Structure 1
Amino acid sequence: MLVINENRYQYVYFVFSGLVTSAIIILAYISIRTTVHDKFRDDIKIIQSSLTLLKPATSWHYNNSWKHIGNSSRGHEIYSAYFDMRTDVIDTSESIDYTNVPIGSLRIFAILPTMFKDTIQCIVRFDDFTLKYIKAAEVKSMHESHEKPFAAFTIMCPLYVSRNISTVQLPQAVALSYATNRLSSLSPTFIEISYARNMTLMFQQTKPTIAACVGPLQFHYNEALRVAEFVEMYRILGVTHFYFYVMDATDEVKQLLAHYRDIGLADVLSWNIHKELDDVHYGGIVAQYNDCVFRAMVVDNFRYAAVIDFDEIIVPLKHNSLMHYLRQCDEGRTSGFVFRNVFFYKKDSNDTFSIPSHIKNRFLYTQTKVRRTVEIMPAYDRSKCIVNTRAIVEMGNHNVWRSAPGYSDSIVHQTVGLLFHYRDHCINCKAILVVDYTARRFGSLLWDRVDRTCLEVFIENGGICPMS
């Protein structure tokens, strides 16, 4: 009996020893591989910064528009492509190739069927019209498709070069090719690749300023006064550039946007999506937000982008501006600063007490709507973000869905900043409201700025910005 027990103990001991030895070997392998992989990534950054990257000679004005991919009846569309210099968003963990290294990737935004499963190849075209075929390393339906038949897609194709060369000619255009759409291969739809306007600044620090990524104007948008107030309010808060996407707006609104474009304050882009509104969520807004963040990062090198709609103002409660808040609070590894939402309602009565007597445009919603909901909504529920552009891989309407390695989002405390949402239709018309005069502290500047802009653009209308 003692012999049997002793044999059993020896068996258990040897099994346990074997498991421990295996675990040590596995952990050692993982440690060695991780160390090698980290060193490889460091080598990639050194090689990348030592290369001379030649931008295509073709003139490109960054005026994208939606184009059909292959057979137009399929409803597949492509909008933009960006050269993304971040090598840490490319997965190199599967295999390490010491002869070819990634110098960046192409990030492409498209509209495809939500259940799309094809393998995609990027057809890359150079200035001399030579072609190169690259298998897409990532083809993903972005979040927030809301069970629509079509969704916004993000597609990433890595760019590899020999580590022995010193000068790289970058491609000029790219098209998508996949088996279920034969015309995508037979007659590819090429779109220009967007690069930094100034390539010498590409590896330098980002400009420490905020750009505004504004949701697309649609449904024959006619609130010119709201647009003027929105822009001038955010300029006071520290925003230096705006990206507007126009699907459908009145001539007066387009005239005002053209004014901001002409003075160098805004890019005005076509959002001519061919989809029926029932086929893709809210006019493809998720694709638009992602295009805008990449545009701010790649083309104009902005450090921050506020992702917002025309009826939303991100208000700092303890700082003079949003830029002042970011200078004090951004420690460098935050992908997005999440501001929680409160509602002001259009149906609520106007408080006209603070309107200066000399002002012509007298119904600014930030100055006349002073009662908001008591309830501050939870983070990620109708919240909005100011993001670090170089930290974003996939942006959502109310939150960051995917960040670059090492970054995470941060919820701004409700005593430090809030999202003031001036909504036309109330979510809960019986909600308890409380008086909040916070936005009025910017009124002394805002009233005159809006009046001056309306006078410059609508002088034939007596300096009155049209409103519904």
Structure 2
Amino acid sequence: FWQSVAGTRFKFFVFSAYYDGRGARMVRVMGATKTRGPDRVWCVLWYQSFNSTTTLTVPAKVKVIRENWNLKYSACFILCPLASNMSVPHSVSIMSRAVLSPSNRLFVNHAFEAAKAHPTPQSSKIGVCVKPLHFNYNQTLQLIEFIELNSLLGMDHITFYNDSISSTTDCVLKHYMSEGRVTVLRWKLDMVSQREIRTEGLFAALNDCLYRSMYDFGYVALIDLDEIVMPKHNDTIQQFIEWMGTRLNTKSTGSYSFQNAFFYLQWPDDLMLSDDVFESSLTSMRIGGGVRPFP
């Protein structure tokens, strides 16, 4: 959940922390703060042994994520450098002044260390990241369709961020959580959406999901609830990736991007799809956003 950074001139919040050992070693904190001229902050690194706790304070670098619609606040990374002789801390606090008592403390995710210690072949598993559910989200049938269709297409797990949802949606998500098919994280950022920050700070959520999923899945899809990645020549996304590998050298491929095709809600249903009376009487759900077909 979001925690505040005390003593700053402007709003400053932090959500999660990840050890990043790719290149320069650091603890990478997901946060949200002022777009231009953010407050200067420090990282307090917490180390725990069997019978004692020690801390080390280092200056932090705030890196604003520029997809912000020029609003006052943006999602950001707070980067806490680790020297080569420093071990990975147990947790981290972000402070505006080193003399203050910390108002936040985040557990540092060590997935990179575990992956480095026990390397395995790249997984074919695919995770899905969805921007925060908000405005008391209550499109329950669309949500079920989204989860089930992505499951049929080979997606292994979906991560949601709960800004505000209805009791019905909460019930549905708890069912899928009990099956281990989705993760739902509490997400209530104290910034006014679309006035102070873009869409509930969605880029903080998507980047958190990316780092959270990085060592659990071979691929991560960043899609919205009205988007579907639909293979054209294959039944699942995994089959598509294998199919692409037989036609192109995909060993160095870092990502796949797909052209959108839009199906607008204001368009009428195609009554010529089927002459079968039963099929024609079925309730159909039309999704109004971009459908992402593979080439």
**Which residue does 1:289 correspond to in 2?**
206
- Name the amino acid aligned to 1:221: Y
Tell me the CA shift for residue 198 of structure 1: 9.6
Whole-angstrom CA distance in 2 between matches of 1:285 and 1:84: 21
1:272 maps to a residue whose letter is K
- DSSP 3-state at the match of 2:199: helix
Q: Is the 8 A contact 1:174 1:190 kept in 2?
A: yes
Q: Which moved more, 1:340-349 or 1:212-221?
A: 340-349
TM-score by length of 2: 0.85
Q: Distance in 1 between matches of 2:40 and 2:229?
A: 41
Q: CA deviation at 1:74?
A: 3.4
Which of residues 277, 294, 317 is equivalent to 2:232? 317
Query: Match of 1:130, SS?
Result: strand
Residues 254/289 of structure 1: CA separation in 2 closer, same or farther (3 Å cut)? same
Deviation digits for residues 314-351 of structure 1, max 9, x if unmatched? 11112222111122335232222111112111222234
Question: Which structure features the higher share of helix residues?
Answer: 1
Query: Please, which moves more after superposition, 336-345 or 109-118?
Result: 109-118
Are the equivalent residues in 1 in contact too, given 2:6–2:96 (CA < 8 A)?
Answer: no
**Cα offset, 1:359, TM superposition:** 11
Unmatched 5+ stretches in structure 1 = 1-64, 91-103, 163-167, 373-381, 385-413, 418-468
Match of 1:146 in 2: 69
Deviations 1:231-278 (A, max 9, x none): 111111110001011111111111111111110111110111111111
CA distance in 1 between partners of 2:9 and 2:280 (Å): 52
CA positional deviation for 1:212: 0.3
- Flag the 1:196–1:175 CA change in 2: closer, same or farther, 3 A: same
8 Å CA contact 1:81–1:193 kept in 2: the answer is yes
* Secondary structure at 1:170 match in 2: coil
Count of residues in Structure 1 that have an aligned counterpart in Structure 2:
284
**Aligned match for 1:178, one of 96, 100, 106:** 96
Q: How far does residue 84 in structure 1 lie from its aligned partner after superposition?
A: 1.9
Ranked by relative contact order (alpha carbons within 8 Å, sequence separation 6 or more), the top structure is: 2
| Displacement after TM superposition at 1:178 (Å) | 3.3
Contact 2:130–2:159, Cα closer than 8 Å, also in 1: yes
Q: Distance in 1 between the 2:130 and 2:31 partners? A: 19
Answering whether residue 203 of structure 2 is matched by residue 280 of structure 1, we say: no
Q: Which has the larger radius of gyration?
A: 1
2:264 is aligned to: 345
Runs of 4+ in 1 over 6 A off after TM superposition: 358-361
Contact 1:213/1:292, CA 8 A, preserved across alignment:
yes
Q: Is 1:135 the equivalent of 2:59?
A: yes
Name the aligned partner's letter for residue 172 of structure 1: H
Residue in structure 2 matched with residue 83 of structure 1 by the alignment: 19
- Identity within the alignment, %: 25
RMSD of the alignment, in Å? 3.0
- Would the aligned equivalents of 1:196 and 1:202 in 2 still touch at CA under 8 Å? no
Match of residue 173 from structure 2 = 257
1: CA distance, partners of 2:63 / 2:112: 28
